[in-house]
Amino acid sequence: MSAAPLGATPVDAEFTTSRPIARDVARHASAVGAQVAAGAGNLVFAIVAVRLLPGGAYAHLAVFVAAYLLVNTPAASLTAGASMRPDLTTRLVPLTLRLGVLIAAVLAVAAPLLGNQLNVPASLVLLLAVDAVAAGPLAVLRGSLFGRHRMSGALLGIVSEPAVRCAVGLALIGPLGAVGAATGVVCGGYAALALCALYSHRAGLLSFGRVWHDVRHQPWRPRSPGERAELGQAILRPMPTVIAFLLFAVVTAEDVIIANRVLDPTVAGVFAAVSTLGGAVLFATATIPLIVLAPSRRTQLESSEQPLLTRRKATLTALAVTAGTSLLASGVVLSLPTSVLHVALGERTAAVRAVLPTYLAAMAVLCVARVVLAWLCSHGRGAAAAYSTGAAVLVQIVLLLHAQTASAAATATLVAGAATLIFYVGQALLVLRTLTTPNNLATSNNLATPSRPAASAESPSGSLPRATVPADVSTDPPETFAPEAAGPKHSTAERLPLLTRMRRIRMRRPQDLRWVIGCAVLGLAIRIATDRSVWIDEAISVHEASQPYGTMLQLLRDTDVHPPLYFTLLWGVIHLTGSTTEAIVRLPSLVAGVLLVVVAYYAAREFWDRRSARYAAVIMAVGPAAVWYAQDARMYALFMLFTTLAAWMVVRVLRHGRWRDVGVFALACGLMLWTQYDTLLVVLTLLAALGGAAGYRWWRDHRNRALLWRSLAASGAIVLMTLPLLPLVLHQYQHTAGVASVPSQAGQAADTASQGVNIYSALAGGTWALFGYHSDHVMLLINAFWPVLLLLVLGSLGRGRSVPVRVLALMALVPPAVLFALAQSRSDLFDLRYFSATVPALNLMLARMVASWPKGWFTRRAVPAVTAIALVAGLVDEQANSSNPRVYDFRSAVAYVRAHSEHGDLLLYGPQFLQPELEYYQPGMASAPIGPVGDTTAHPHVFLLGSFLNEKATSAAVGTTLYKLQHSRHEVAKVNFPNVTIWEFE
Amino acid sequence: MRMSTTEKFDLLRDQLVEGDDGAELDPRLADPAWGEAPLGYPRLGRVRLLLAANIVAGVWYFSWLLRPDRVGYPVLYGILLVAELFNLAQAVGFWVSISRQRRRPDAPAFDPTTRVDVFIPRYDEPAEIVAPVLRAARAMRGADVIVHLLDDGDDEEMLRLATSLGVSYISRTRHNGAKAGNINHALTVTTAPYVVVFDCDHVPHPDFLLRTLGLLVADDKMALVQTPQHYANSLENEVAAASWAQQALFFGCIARGKDTLGAMFCCGTNVVLRRTALGDGFPEDSLTEDFSLSIRLHEDGWRTAYVPEVLAQGLGPEDLGSYLGQQLRWARGCLSGLSDALSSRLPLRIKAQYVLSSMYFLTGWTVLIYMALPVMRIVTGHQPLATTNADQFLLHFAPYYALCLGSVAIAGGGKYTFRAFTLSAATYWVHVTATLLTLARRRGRFAVTPKTSAGERQPLAAWPTLVTVALLLGVMAYGLSKSRDASMFNNVAFAGVHACILLVGISAAFHRPAARDRFEFQE
């Protein structure tokens, strides 16, 4: 039987209603109902399996299920493709059957090896091989049923699978353990295949005889060129969708597999349980994207002129149903009484419950993302979505490989899910903007209507309609935007409130978005690829933010010297996730660091041109200082983000004088001041720039007061925003007398060639801002290259005057110059942390220089290359060189103590302010600050942890304690970690 | 009433371009930039503020440098000191010049029947270069103009050209004295009380005389009125652009300052002269006849004036070879005039300006010294400054250096570019050569600067620079192989910076100049 054109496909009469939204809701509701039923079945299966299987065996089953998903997910991706192109069913079923056999054979041969690698019995791999045969045909048949709106058949297949799984699996779990449960899983798949195939056969959609004939006789490679082309089209057209869904499935499934490898078995078992519960949420909405993907049924029934409207409403409906279902399912799982969970999870209940919120949030995000993905694929954006998803996969892998706890693994999935959703939404906005351009509306209406002759090209045989290529989507729109009022007011897009809003978002050309996304992903990957121990300031932040909110504020008032904005964010993150892992506490900085890349791109784009913007984004993504502070659980990344935003707005105000820019500028400045008090210098500098320009304009023309009013308004707004801080500032000053509770200059002295603040300190400041932190030796070598600055000064000759460069130069130079002057009396004030605005300012100016100074063919390539090499070298040295004086490896030091200690041992530490650090890493033994060493004979071992030894007072105190211990005990070992030393005595 | 730039250009083009059939427009006509704008005009308040800071920074640096305990290797210290003091003298002269910028009022009106002889000396330039100049010269308004084509090439085509355009054609049998001799010969066969000289590539504006001649007519002691030499091809050729940036600094703030001091000298073209002031005519024994003439005029009590407006569009050197030839001629001429300037009976303020202008062509020596110092340090280990920390040097030198460059940038109205600096630095050896030839009293030959590029790469034209770069790179490699400490890195960085400047400066020699269709001469 040959495939019939879609227009001639018989469709179900079910859900026929005159109200499309009601019809969509009914369809999604039925799908969700089936999924929930299936999910419930899976949940029962999982809970019983968890209960019946020991931790390790259940972990094996979880790995099998994840691998099962990995095998079935490409197949499920085929479901997505088949849902878009149900006409290809007859061709795809034999093909996937053959491929399945091939994969099964490979799996069977590799079973021992894979079993060893995955840490599971080989028999489970063999079961996986058996399943692989059925996975492809089942996926195609399901997609076909969804694509032809045969909901009853599709849903039957969905519900039957867990039913059989439970029946067979739970029956076999007793005698066979994990293998028995896995057998049930495989049987469920075959049962679903049988039902789908029977339904299709009876509905006239599939001929068993034809399939069997094709499997046996159809050549792998068609003989005639026409057939080959036809097959190629059939496979290649939905391929981006298949790959995108495949990668998406990897995001959803890889966490449990990697976690099983990197976590210890107990923790892996906890995460497997969490994954199972969370997977239920994901599973509940698994079908909805398929409905979104399916060609509009209405377009099969009638020649509608407005399918776009229908599809978008359908998509919005799908999104709403998905979000609601996800939240509902999450709520149900979270509200399960502990006793119920305990029945299912046993001793792991508490651990699971701690991680569950994070993971459920990740699943909810992924559910919504999957619908957007389906929408993107149905609009020809499968390839872009695949790239984005691939990036998210990489991000997740990197995070998972660094995970040490179940919470960290869950966070990795949450970050990957959020990244995925952001990427998809960005792409969707782009598509919407393109589609809602008046000239594109007519074409976009046809995107999902392959039957429309105007939009689809018939194959040579005339029987196989080719997929419609959204030409207007795949080509770049014009650089400038059509005026908002350009389209007719009664156009479809104008009637849609959401789309109207979308149109007002000033999206740039697709190249802009690709660069921004690419650089943001690059920046994200770099920032999470490496990590370092939480150092003392971070530990203090975590300690304060871990308290109840009121207590935290009180701590800030009494013991700290910072405003509360960053701590409030950190407090929210910690209490939302219930975790204080390094990845979690650094999340606000990470987000700010990645946003800085985006803001830098658009600021540079507006300041200068696209070339400069691209360099700006790349430089900001790899800039060592920007990377460093995006990995720091402190407020400096936010500092950089807000200062960049404020500088951008100043330039806009100077250029255009728009009140909204004045408002954003004032807001950014206010946020800055609520983030860190040192930003006052930046705020004053920017206000001076604004006021200076306003005064100059007024001086030249007394009637020109517009900028003057704007400057005054901005100043007033900033003052109003910061007034509430005044009591806090006064209180903090009285309690701390302007001195932080810890030495804020840690590591600074070692960065400069000589002690104190001198001209090399200024050079070191510039080096830090551009090339990051390095060891003394490297800093000396870098500073020796100062003659290059002479060349840069010369190079600036005749470059013309530019408002952005002036603003950035002021922002880069004035705060450090003021601090440099102040540092003559108190040297610790001259530290990059306190003039962090210099980092984005210098990076932006560097980008401009790289983009605009070279003119010749060679220099236009050589200068960016040399710059990139220098920055990457700086980044690598900063991150990898353990001699970096800013690295304080408390994590390794405490791990050493933990590994070598026994019950009753004592840990002495100096200086005293290390207490939050030890509180964070929890050595698991009694600890006390150094001081008069009392009787330590009760402790078998005594460990002395010393840090900040470059400070005289600390060094003396630690030395005294060391001397006493050396005279009362035997020194077993002395171990050096970066800026931390451990002495072990017995 | 002044015309706007656009109006002026339209008028000129209407007059000069007839029946354009698609041939590429002469850059002197295609996109001329008339008036004061191409020269830039600084804000004097800022300049003076900067000068004050410059003085402070200079005192700060030299009070540190001149202390006895700074002496490292005495010979090298002495050489460094000479270079620094020379540059300081140049800088001080520059500061004095730019501290006051005269803006002359419009030239007073004069009798339109005033007779003016316009001399356009020509040696071997083609007709398409000369024709627009003749046409534009004929179109000058405000006076009774007679245009003379002074053909030293005895070219029949020039005769036909002059005849077809209705201008006087003057040639001579003895071609002695180069350009000066050519003009002097013309002076003997013409009679107008005022003489205008245009190089044969400089297209004058119709208002040229209206903007300049009045100053001569109104002041009997005024010998000459000079206007800038603008390179119209600076937008399409990198060598011409860099040359123009150098010219813009001179014809901008420096020339305005010289005018304020009464020390502006003749630059050989785009100048109006009083015949009676010329006396014996242009000196024929100098490569820079205009410079020598100016000294003589000032000695004789004549005054000079400068109108800082682009009133003629010319063609700058389009390749490195042309630029080098031009610079060598100027350097030799000015250096040979140094003795005249020093021995002249002039007020100090004027004499100092002549001496400074002549000595500018010694700056190549300082470049050589600065390049040699890191080389010496790397190779021999000797350095001029010892017993001091590098950070102290940086602390004292950096403000002085930055402010000096800042004053050049601000006073030059942003017209002086990096390429102009590098081109000047990369051809340092021209100054060295000119000095040596002058000291050897080798007689030079007047060579006309080519008006179009050779159309090919000219790496060998800058072979001394290439040798220097190779030497610097070799020394850098040697130094790094010897040691990799911070001190060595610092000197290697210095050498690298010099190499970079030299390479950028001569980069034009490695590019084939963009082919420009010859603009057509229409008879």
Tens digits of residue pLDDT in A483-536: 333 333 333 333 444 444 444 444 445 567 778 888 998 998 899 887 789 989
Q: Which two tokens stand for residue A508?
A: 């740039």
Chain A positions touching B487 (Cβ under 8 A) are: 784
Q: Which two tokens stand for residue B85?
A: 């003091």
Q: How far is CA A500 from CA A435, A436, A488, in A?
A: 11, 8, 13
CA–CA separation, A910 vs A875, rounded Å? 31
HSE (side-chain half, CA atoms, 13 Å) at A467: 29
Nearest of A385, A621, A443 to residue A522 by alpha carbon: A621
- Please say whether the dihedral angle defined by the alpha carbons of residues B358, B360, B362 and B364, taken in this order, is positive or negative: negative
Nearest of A628, A621, A578, A572 to residue A596 by alpha carbon: A621
CA–CA separation, A894 vs A900, rounded Å? 10
Q: For position B36, what pLDDT does the model report? A: 73
* A420 and A392 Cβ atoms separated by less than 8 Å: yes
**Do A791 and B415 lie within an 8 Å CB cutoff?**
no
Closest by Cβ to B486, choosing from A781, A790, A795: A781
HSE (side-chain half, CA atoms, 13 Å) at B493: 19
* B273 and B194 Cβ atoms separated by less than 8 Å: yes
Strand partners, B147: B118
CA–CA separation, B315 vs B234, rounded Å? 8
CA–CA separation, A292 vs A289, rounded Å? 5
Q: Per-residue confidence of chain B (523 residues) as pLDDT tens digits? A: 444 444 544 554 454 444 444 445 667 776 567 777 777 777 788 888 999 999 999 999 999 999 888 888 999 999 999 999 999 999 999 999 888 887 788 888 899 999 999 999 998 888 888 999 999 999 999 999 999 999 988 888 889 999 988 899 999 888 888 888 999 999 999 999 999 999 988 999 999 999 999 999 999 999 999 999 999 888 888 889 999 999 999 999 999 999 999 999 999 899 999 999 988 888 887 777 788 889 999 999 999 999 999 999 888 888 888 899 889 988 988 888 888 888 888 899 899 999 999 999 999 999 999 999 999 999 999 999 876 667 788 889 999 999 999 999 888 888 899 999 999 999 999 999 999 998 887 766 656 566 666 667 777 888 999 999 999 999 999 999 999 888 899 999 999 999 999 999 998 888 776 655 444 444 3
Interface residue ranges in chain A relative to chain B, Cβ cutoff 8 Å = 753-754, 758-760, 763, 780-781, 783-791, 793-801, 856
Q: For position A236, what pLDDT does the model report? A: 61
Q: What is the DSSP letter of A618?
A: H
Label the pairing between strands B222-226 and B271-274. antiparallel
**Do B395 and A797 lie within an 8 Å CB cutoff?**
no
* 3-class secondary structure per residue, A50-112: HHHCCHHHHHHHHHHHHHHHHHHHHHHHHHHHHHHCHHHHHHHHHHHHHHHHHHHHHHHHCHH
Q: Which one of B60, B490, B498, B501 would you mutate to disrupt binding with A, by most A Cβ within 10 Å of its Cβ?
A: B490
CA–CA separation, A667 vs A714, rounded Å? 9
Judged by a CB distance cut-off of 8 A, whether residue B87 touches chain A is: no
Q: For position A467, what pLDDT does the model report? A: 33
Q: How far is CA A374 from the centre of its chain?
A: 20
User: What are residue B169's phi and psi, to 5 degrees?
Assistant: -115, 120
Q: What is the DSSP letter of B385?
A: B
One DSSP character per residue, B102-124 reads --PPPPPP--TT-EEEEEEEESS
* B126 and B520 Cβ atoms separated by less than 8 Å: no
Name the 3-class secondary structure at B203. Answer: strand
Name the 3-class secondary structure at A716. Answer: helix
Q: Which two tokens stand for residue A27?
A: 């369809």
CA–CA separation, A694 vs A712, rounded Å? 10
Residues with Cβ within 8 Å of B114's Cβ and at least 6 positions away in sequence, in order, are B143, B144, B193, B194, B213, B217
Q: Which two tokens stand for residue A155?
A: 């849903």
Strand partners, A944: A908, A983
Q: What is the DSSP letter of B155?
A: -
- Residue carrying structure tokens 């029956």: A171
Chain A positions touching B494 (Cβ under 8 A) are: 787
Nearest CA in chain A to B416: A798
Closest by Cβ to A798, choosing from B415, B489, B493: B415
CA–CA separation, A63 vs A60, rounded Å? 5
**Do B497 and A788 lie within an 8 Å CB cutoff?**
yes
Q: For position B452, what pLDDT does the model report? A: 61
Amino acid, res. B85: L
Q: For position A708, what pLDDT does the model report? A: 92
Q: Which two tokens stand for residue A808?
A: 């950035």
Angle at A738 between CA A733 and CA A741, to 5 degrees: 105
Name the 3-class secondary structure at B441. Answer: coil
Residues with Cβ within 8 Å of B347's Cβ and at least 6 positions away in sequence, in order, are none
CA–CA separation, B471 vs B477, rounded Å? 10
How far A808 CA sits from the closest chain B CA (Å)?
18
Q: Which one of B371, B391, B511 would you mutate to disrupt binding with A, by most A Cβ within 10 Å of its Cβ?
A: B391
- Please say whether the dihedral angle defined by the alpha carbons of residues B243, B245, B247 and B250, taken in this order, is positive or negative: negative
Please tell me whether the peptide bond between A20 and the residue prior to it is cis, using omega within 30 degrees of 0: no
Strand partners, A983: A944, A974
Strand partners, A3: none
Size of interface A-B (CB pairs under 8 A): 77
Q: For position B465, what pLDDT does the model report? A: 94
Alpha helices in A110-238 (DSSP H): 111-118, 122-147, 151-176, 178-202, 208-217, 225-236
- Please identify every stretch of chain A with a pLDDT value under 70, giving residue numbers as ranges: 1-24, 39, 55-56, 73-77, 80-81, 84-85, 215-238, 284, 287, 289-315, 343-346, 433-511, 737-756, 932-935
The DSSP H or E segment spanning A907 is strand A906-910
Q: What is the DSSP letter of B26?
A: P
Judged by a CB distance cut-off of 8 A, whether residue B460 touches chain A is: no
Nearest of A407, A412, A415 to residue A365 by alpha carbon: A415
* 3-class secondary structure per residue, A395-410: HHHHHHHHCCCHHHHH
Alpha helices in A263-306 (DSSP H): 265-284, 288-293, 297-301
**Do A787 and B415 lie within an 8 Å CB cutoff?**
no
**Do B421 and A753 lie within an 8 Å CB cutoff?**
no
pLDDT digits (tens, 9 = 90+) for B215-234: 999 999 999 999 999 998 88
Q: How far is CA A632 from the centre of its chain?
A: 17
Q: For position A4, what pLDDT does the model report? A: 35
Judged by a CB distance cut-off of 8 A, whether residue B463 touches chain A is: no
**Do B401 and A791 lie within an 8 Å CB cutoff?**
no
Q: Which two tokens stand for residue A737?
A: 């007398």
Nearest of B266, B261, B122 to residue B182 by alpha carbon: B122
Closest by Cβ to B497, choosing from A753, A760, A790: A790
Angle at A181 between CA A178 and CA A187, to 5 degrees: 140
CA–CA separation, A471 vs A455, rounded Å? 10
Chain A positions touching B409 (Cβ under 8 A) are: 796-798
Closest by Cβ to A794, choosing from B415, B421, B511: B421
- Residue carrying structure tokens 């399901």: A142
Closest by Cβ to A781, choosing from B245, B419, B489: B489
Q: For position A340, what pLDDT does the model report? A: 73
**Do B394 and A856 lie within an 8 Å CB cutoff?**
no
CA–CA separation, B271 vs B287, rounded Å? 18
How far B89 CA sits from the closest chain A CA (Å)?
20
Q: For position B31, what pLDDT does the model report? A: 57
Q: Which two tokens stand for residue A457?
A: 């090209």
Nearest CA in chain B to A776: B486
